Amino acid sequence: MAAGGKGRNTSLAAAEAVRFHRAHQDAWLESVFFRVHTRCAVSVSRAFGARSRRVFEVACALVAAGGLGMLVGLHQRYTGSTELSRALRAAKIDEARAYAVRVAVGGDDEDACGGGDYVYWYSPERGIVELSEAAMRDLAVPVRCVAMTRRQLGPWPWRVAAGTDAIVANAALRAFGCVGRVRLDRSRDGYDLSRCDDKARRFNAVFKIAVAIKTIFLVFATSTLASYTLRETQARMLRFAYLIKERVSNRQSYVKLVTLHLLDSVVFAPITLGMLSFLYEFFADQLLALLILTLIWGCELFGAVSLRSLEALHSLPHLIVLYLAALHIYVFLFPLGFFYVAFGTTLAAIGHVMFYFWNHFELPALLSGLVSVSRPRAAY
């Protein structure tokens, strides 16, 4: 009995020691983040006055509003019936099961199909569109040709914002429906139209619930993993800095310490790569997935360093999650949407709320002493 009681006391003491160590480490990490926040606040205040910071805040709001308006305009202009979609529909061969349509964009003459700065191929059969032009001739595949000048695709601001790839893919979707594949001749990247849902399914209740569940899961999974990785890497770095300083001051060897720290840090590389691979399964555009993950990392870093006033702690995370969820829902609802315009709009909207809370709450809280070294966050 005595031995059992002694063992339980030892376990309780060890658990208490672990909790104390964790609390001490969290407090140390918070003090480091607070010093970084203070330096950033001083540097920003010296470099930019109150009026300049207000200009940045309003500029982000205007860019976000303009991006949202442009996104609506792009959908109205390019997802409906366009000159290109009508030309593609006229090029359709109903009696042929396997055929191809060559789309040349950017030539000087709309009747010269052999030219074009950008060449796209469409076919209802995936195997046909992956063939080279010579192989199509050898196999006697019927080929129709559609030529479009840049001017026929719309004014240059709309073309640049939408991108030629998205314009052609949406026109093919309008002309042929959710059948076939579009491929860019130079890069051999393509759009699988069979993965694009029609409007009836897009607004179906079950499909909307599935999109909502997928969005909630992705936003919270990526943000949680990013927050965990950020805090753990910073805590390990601070502990490493403290230990190596102690070794150097005592003139002890630190080779083993450096080796252990490197091995300990390597563990987080698979986590980051796993997050990217995880997002690649949901986003066909890998660059978009990387940009979204980078944005989430930036939001987590801002929250760890500069999210300290009571108003910001209560409101800013909800707004950022709302904007990120809106971006994810748009990407899942419109597989051929204008993703980079949507991403830029989301980035500007998040930048606006960050500037707003920084100017109106974070700086005043720091200057008035509501947050300090002894109380690094107002909620503490």
- β-strand pairing of 100-105 with 118-123: antiparallel
Residue 108 pLDDT greater than 80, yes or no: no
Q: Which residue has the higher pLDDT, 239 or 302?
A: 302
Q: How far apart are CA 87 and CA 353, in angstroms?
A: 44
Residue 12 pLDDT exceeds 50: no
Reply yes or no on whether the pLDDT at 59 is more than 70. yes
Average of per-residue pLDDT across 131-137: 82
pLDDT at 89: 86
Confidence check: pLDDT of 20 > 70: no
Contact yes or no for 77/154 (Cβ under 8 A) = yes
Both tokens assigned to 373: 């070294």
Mean per-residue pLDDT for 222-236?
Answer: 81
Residue 14 has pLDDT above 50, yes or no: no
pLDDT of residue 18: 44
Instruction: Identify the three-state secondary structure at position 21.
Output: helix
More confident residue, 99 or 326: 326
Residue 181 has pLDDT above 90, yes or no: no
Query: Helix 205-249 to helix 286-306 angle, to the nearest 10 degrees?
Result: 60
Give the residue-averaged pLDDT of 59-84: 92
- Per-residue pLDDT, averaged over 208-236, amounts to 85
CA-based end-to-end distance of the chain: 42
Decide if pLDDT at 183 tops 80. yes
Q: Where are the domains of the chain?
A: 61-69+203-334+337-368, 80-196
The b-or-e profile of 269-300 (16+ CB within 10 A means b, else e) is eeeeeebeeebeeebbbeebbebbbebbbebb
Please, which residues have CB within 8 angstroms of residue 291's CB and are 6 or more apart in sequence?
343
In which residue are the tokens 């003459």 written?
Answer: 109
Question: What is residue 57's predicted lDDT score, i.e. its pLDDT?
Answer: 93
pLDDT at position 9 over 60: no
Local confidence band at 321 (pLDDT 50, 70, 90 cut-offs): very high
Q: How far apart are CA 359 and CA 57, in angstroms?
A: 9
- Cα–Cα dist 174/122, whole Å: 13
Please report the DSSP string for 170-219 in residue order: HHHHHHH-S-SEEEETTT--EEEGGGSPPHHHHT-HHHHHHHHHHHHHHH
Higher pLDDT, 199 or 209: 209
Q: What is the pLDDT of residue 177?
A: 83
- At 241, the amino acid letter reads A
pLDDT at 1 over 70: no
Torsion sign (Cα): 252, 255, 258, 261: negative
pLDDT for residue 274 is more than 70: yes
Q: pLDDT grade, residue 95 (50/70/90)?
A: low
What pLDDT, on the 0 to 100 scale, is given for residue 345? 96
What pLDDT, on a 0 to 100 scale, did the predictor assign at position 323? 96
> How many Cβ atoms are within 10 Å of 142's Cβ, its own excluded?
13
When pLDDT is cut at 50, 70 and 90, the band that residue 176 belongs to is: confident
> What integer pLDDT is reported at residue 233 of this predicted model?
77
pLDDT for the residue 320: 94
The pLDDT value given to residue 26? 64
Q: What is the pLDDT of residue 261?
A: 67
Q: Is the CB of residue 109 less than 8 Å from the CB of residue 74?
A: no
